[in-house]
């Protein structure tokens, strides 16, 4: 990843003292070192008590940090190892190591020499902007990929400075390039999609620092493909109803059998007679047999003799 600083340098000019910032715009990769150059010229020689100031200025005008140097030797000590050059030669440049997004901002340098005081201030600013390559974009499909529907394809890099731009290209299922109605922006819309819409879509996120991309596959299906789903749901409901019906039928049959069994038992209990009834029935059965018995004949003497 590369980055760019835009530096605001406040230059104070007075009498023979001049302060210059050679670079109006500095670009550097994130994580690298950024050197902020500032030089001054004067007819006097810097000495103890002279003042060199570096400031990082926020948007509201406040200072995030301020380095004030009151001794010529202290400049080398305080900024080490960020310094390049020396106060004696008029070089008060500083180097910020391993820059991050937090280092992005406006910086100002100024010089005050007791032997060469400024008569008026003439500040000059240079913006220093840190540039960051786009992060790998996140691709999404918004909507239902069915015939006749409208879907949106989105692509977003969550990091990148300046803001990345997005371009799209597409290939059909035979991996042949095809023309898209729109090829710019974080989102493209595909209307009235069909089988011809299916294929591969590539989004490229780009800024002056670098490029990243993401890709996605779009598969458009006809609405009839959902019949299997609906059929499965209906089949499941019907099966549940059948199972419930079988269970209900079994319960009813069981209750019916229990009632028949109870009726049979009751009928059996009705056929059981009491001892009195049994004796009476026995007498009734014996009476006819007594009536049918022929009268007994008495033996005679003749019968004896004949025998």
Strand pairing class (177-178; 187-190): unpaired
Distance in angstroms (rounded) separating the CA atoms of residues 183 and 202: 10
More confident residue, 215 or 77: 215
pLDDT band at 180 (very low <50, low <70, confident <90, very high): very high
pLDDT at 193 over 60: yes
Question: What pLDDT score was predicted for residue 12?
Answer: 43
| pTM for this prediction | 0.47
Taking only the tens place, the pLDDT of each residue in 124-178 is: 445 556 678 899 999 999 999 999 999 999 999 998 888 999 999 999 999 999 9
Tokens standing for residue 298: 């008495």
Cα diameter, the chain: 197
**Does domain 4-128 fall into CATH 2.60.40.10?**
yes
Q: How far is residue 19's CA from residue 125's CA, in Å, rounded to a whole number?
A: 12
Of residues 128 and 289, more confidently modeled: 128
The superfamily CATH assigns to domain 138-221 is Immunoglobulins (2.60.40.10)
- DSSP state, residue 279: H
What confidence score (pLDDT) does residue 306 get? 46
pLDDT tens across 243-260, in order? 887 887 777 776 665 565
Does pLDDT of 278 surpass 80? no
């Amino acid at each position: 990843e590369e980055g760019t600083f835009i530096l605001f340098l406040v230059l104070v000019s007075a009498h023979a003292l001049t302060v210059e910032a050679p670079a109006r715009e500095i670009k550097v990769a994130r994580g690298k070192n950024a050197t902020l150059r500032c030089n001054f010229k004067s007819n006097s020689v810097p000495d103890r008590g002279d003042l060199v100031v570096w400031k990082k200025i926020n948007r509201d005008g406040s200072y995030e940090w301020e380095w004030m140097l009151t001794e010529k030797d202290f400049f080398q000590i305080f900024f080490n190892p960020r310094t390049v050059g020396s106060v004696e030669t008029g070089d008060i440049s500083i180097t910020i190591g391993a820059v991050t997004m937090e280092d992005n901002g406006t910086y100002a340098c100024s010089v005050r020499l007791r032997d060469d005081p400024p008569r008026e201030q003439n500040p000059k600013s240079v913006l220093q902007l840190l540039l960051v390559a786009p992060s790998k974009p996140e691709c999404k499909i918004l909507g239902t990929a069915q015939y006749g529907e409208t879907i949106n394809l989105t692509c977003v890099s969550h990091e990148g400075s300046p803001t990345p731009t997005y371009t799209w290209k597409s290939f059909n299922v035979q991996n042949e390039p095809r023309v898209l109605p729109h090829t710019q922006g974080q989102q493209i819309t595909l209307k009235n999609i069909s089988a011809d819409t299916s294929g591969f879509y590539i989004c490229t996120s780009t800024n002056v620092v670098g490029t990243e991309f993401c890709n996605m596959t779009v598969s458009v299906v006809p609405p009839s493909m959902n019949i299997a789903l609906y059929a499965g749901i209906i089949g499941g409901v019907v099966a549940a109803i059948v199972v419930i019906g079988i269970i209900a039928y079994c319960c009813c049959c069981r209750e019916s059998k229990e009632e028949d069994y109870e009726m049979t038992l009751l009928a059996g209990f009705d056929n059981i007679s009491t001892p009195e009834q049994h004796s009476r029935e026995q007498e009734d059965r014996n009476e006819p047999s007594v009536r049918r018995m022929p009268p007994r004949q008495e033996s005679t003497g003749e019968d004896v003799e004949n025998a």
